[in-house]
Amino acid sequence: MSSENAYFVPHDAKWPIIGSIGLMLFFGGFAAQLNNMPSSSIVMTIGFLVLVYMMFGWFGEVINESESGSYKSNEDASFRVGMIWFIFSEVMFFAAFFGALYYIRTFSVPWIGGIGAGSVTNEYLWSSFEAMWPTNGPDNIGGDYQKMGPWGLPAINTLILLTSGVTVTWAHWGLIANKRKQLIFGLALTVILGFIFVALQALEYSHGYNDLNLTMASGVYGSTFYMLTGFHGFHVTVGAIMLAVMLVRSMKGHFTPENHFAFEATAWYWHFVDVVWLGLFVFVYWL
């Protein structure tokens, strides 16, 4: 074994403990804030800033190591396998919320409406309730509301995300062919499309809250709608930030046609977020 193939084992990792402290301050502050405990939002903010500091520091260190050539094919393979399994964990995270949606639409709402096993429940508790979708339940939780239709903003957002999937691939082709301009232009387009998506999503939420009376409290329709789209929107935001970092790195001259794991991982993540959106569009907005 030549030492050129030696596996890189870093030493003296200070960022993890900083991350742990940040995580506890952030989550602890958040939990305290939910209970209206004093100065909890300050703790939460400090925790968030510590986490941001940790990410800058940790990723900065990794980028430096990468640029100085510490990572060879073996480290690269570790990162790739790790990223794939991380995305799998995210798939399962979304699966919990999609599963909740399917269960509610297929079982719980029809049962409350008296179908199958629920006939007695319906007769004694909610005899006036008829199963339908969307619904805010037999108690009309949150008051009357309107459904968020698929063919306005959501359809535009679908086009935006699909287009961004194309532009990020185009940027990748540029990177492989060592065409820096194509890389930077493609990435910039993707970042812009990503943030437009987030902005339109915010617009849609304000439309829902202000015009449709569709809120998180609008029964189970509002719950699933905001949980699924909100969780996805959060992921798009994170993905767009990741893409922005890749853009800055590309402009600084990072990445080579052979060695650009960070770019690819971000692209994978972006495609994953894209695919989840298609599921949302079909099952939350359309059907």
**CA 25 to mean position of chain CA atoms:** 22
Per CB under 8 A, the segment of 2-10, 148-156, 174-182, 190-198 that binds other proteins is 2-10
State the nearest-atom distance from the C-beta of 165 to other proteins, in Å.
23
Using alpha carbons, select from 14, 104, 82, 114 the residue that is nearest to residue 262.
82
Measured CA to CA, the distance from residue 176 to residue 170 in angstroms comes to 10
Using alpha carbons, select from 263, 266, 271, 268 the residue that is nearest to residue 66.
263
Per-residue interface string for the shown chain with other proteins, residues 226-255, x marking contact by CB under 8 A: xx----------------------------
State the nearest-atom distance from the C-beta of 222 to other proteins, in Å.
7
Residues 95-154, interacting with other proteins (CB under 8 A): 95-97, 99-100, 103-104, 107-109, 111-112, 116-117, 125, 135-139, 141-142
Residues 14-33, interacting with other proteins (CB under 8 A): 14-17, 19-21, 23-24, 27-28, 30-32
257: preceding bond cis by omega (within 30 degrees):
no
Per-residue interface string for the shown chain with other proteins, residues 62-81, x marking contact by CB under 8 A: ---x--x-x---x--xx--x
Measured CA to CA, the distance from residue 73 to residue 66 in angstroms comes to 12
What distance, in Å, lies between the first and last C-alpha atoms of the chain? 58
In the complex with other proteins, the residue whose CB is nearer, 173 or 234, is: 234
Q: Indicate the residue type of 79.
A: F
Contact 14, 61 (CB under 8 A): no
In the complex with other proteins, the residue whose CB is nearer, 117 or 248, is: 117
Choice from 197, 205, 221, 269 touching other proteins (CB under 8 A) = 221
Measured CA to CA, the distance from residue 218 to residue 225 in angstroms comes to 10
In the complex with other proteins, the residue whose CB is nearer, 62 or 241, is: 62
Contact 167, 194 (CB under 8 A): no
State the nearest-atom distance from the C-beta of 131 to other proteins, in Å.
9
Task: Identify the residue whose tokens are 């399962």.
Answer: 92
Measured CA to CA, the distance from residue 191 to residue 163 in angstroms comes to 11
Judged by CB under 8 A, does residue 53 bind other proteins?
A: no
Residues 186-215, interacting with other proteins (CB under 8 A): 215
Judged by CB under 8 A, does residue 287 bind other proteins?
A: no
Judged by CB under 8 A, does residue 6 bind other proteins?
A: yes
